[in-house]
Amino acid sequence: MAWINDNYLKLKAGYLFPEIGRRVRAFAEANPKAKIIRLGIGDVTEPLPGAVIEAMHRAVDEMAHRETFRGYGPEQGYDFLREKIAAEDFGKRKCDIAADEIFISDGSKCDTGNILDILACGKANCIAIPDPVYPVYVDTNVMGGNTGAAGDNGSYQGLLYLPATEQNNFTPDLPAEKVDVVYLCSPNNPTGAAMSREALARWVDYAKRNDCLILFDAAYEGYITDERVPHSIFEIPGARDVALEFRSFSKLAGFTGTRCAYTVVPKSVTGKAADGTRVDLHRLWLRRQTTKFNGVSYVVQRGAEAVYSPAGREQCRKLIDFYLQNARTIRWTLHEIGLTAFGGENAPYVWVKTPGGMSSWDFFDKLLTQAHVVGTPGSGFGAQGEGYFRISAFNSRENVEEAMTRLKAKLA
């Protein structure tokens, strides 16, 4: 008999997005004529940039000849991409990050979950997680046995939740106590808030004083429009001693289905072994990746490299501007209706307060059944998300405009 990982039994219902999918499918089956517009999961809709397509075509052609064919690549990514990233994403911002500190992967969802492999599991670490938050951080900690059971509001015992609310501009305050690991995400999913340089510097300072590891998710970095907002935690002096950073090509270049991301693990970040010795996390992550991962395909890495070409940059900029224009349309419409909305300026998400204190799922059902528009209930991102709703800007202009017309008709 195989004994299961009982921690999975602690997980609340399904993962948020499949659960939304289930409800939407049930509605669609019962109402086959309804034209449903999906602004729920943050999945891109526009084609890949031309420069990426061309680079991938060239790479496919290379695979057709023995001389240029590639089998297994380096698990941590090809040098051509790691070097490009080090120079373009970090060197140009004066961040001290070397190419061999960059690990190419197939997604930030995987990386933010897998990183727990190299940290002590069980209750050894005090782990702080913002609330609301991208559900993967919480659920992977549950799976790894780092939490107790969930309470009625969905929060798990054993995690320290850091409220990100209207009162603190959706930027979590420093905890009064000492924590070992903290997740931060900026620009934020789900609230759309972006952390200022000062706020990020406070966290780096906290981490240094408390020997705390920051897991910094910058998957939406490409959406930053405010020049005062840092694009990388490594823009903050000292961060390379305390932080790892997760980046993705998904929302930057439309790679949600193509799959390419990377994680920065500076060689100077260490953790403590059970016997008290300091061990660098880079060594452990390298070991983990070379054992459990066989790398991202050559073709896809060539596509990702093309994101940094002059044409690729311009095309990605257009793509992002397109989605940000959708976000402005959404935010503007919500204001017109008289709802309070946040985000959408440095992120592709608008975070709206539900009207009349309605619960997040009730609002979800109302929009689905009355307007045939799908969003994401804020409570799915944590207890503090109750009473909020996330609307994603990822869709065609036509669909976003149509969805907003319907919202005006049903909510104004």
**What dihedral do alpha carbons 35, 39, 43, 46 form, nearest 10°?**
70
Task: Name which of 109 and 282 has its Cβ closer to ligand MLT.
Answer: 109
Task: Name which of 298 and 388 has its Cβ closer to ligand MLT.
Answer: 388
Task: Name which of 134 and 137 has its Cβ closer to ligand MLT.
Answer: 134
Tell me the C-alpha distance between 260 and 151, whole Å: 35
DSSP assignment string, 284-345? HHHHHHHHH-----HHHHHHHHHTTSHHHHHHHHHHHHHHHHHHHHHHHHHHHHT--EEE-S
Q: 3-state SS string over 45-74?
A: CCCCCHHHHHHHHHHHHHCCCCCCCCCCCC
Task: Name which of 42 and 130 has its Cβ closer to ligand MLT.
Answer: 42
C-beta of 382: minimal distance to ligand MLT in Å?
A: 13
The owner of tokens 């911002």 is 93
Question: Smallest Cα–Cα separation from 323: which of 45, 49, 89?
Answer: 45
CA angle 109, 340, 397 (to 5 degrees): 60
Task: Name which of 130 and 266 has its Cβ closer to ligand MLT.
Answer: 130
Task: Name which of 233 and 393 has its Cβ closer to ligand MLT.
Answer: 393
The owner of tokens 């900690």 is 141
Which residue minimizes CB distance to ligand MLT?
42
Binding site for ligand MLT (CB under 6 A): 41-43, 109, 134, 189
144: amino acid identity, one letter: G
Task: Name which of 147 and 189 has its Cβ closer to ligand MLT.
Answer: 189
Q: Which tokens hold the place of 48?
A: 């890949």
Tell me the C-alpha distance between 189 and 343, whole Å: 10
Tell me the C-alpha distance between 161 and 155, whole Å: 8
Question: Smallest Cα–Cα separation from 97: which of 286, 225, 233?
Answer: 233
Task: Name which of 113 and 175 has its Cβ closer to ligand MLT.
Answer: 113
Q: Residue 384, Cβ neighbours under 10 Å: how many?
A: 24
DSSP state of 108: H
Task: Name which of 186 and 189 has its Cβ closer to ligand MLT.
Answer: 189
Separation of first and last alpha carbons in the chain? 58
Strand partners, 264: 102, 245
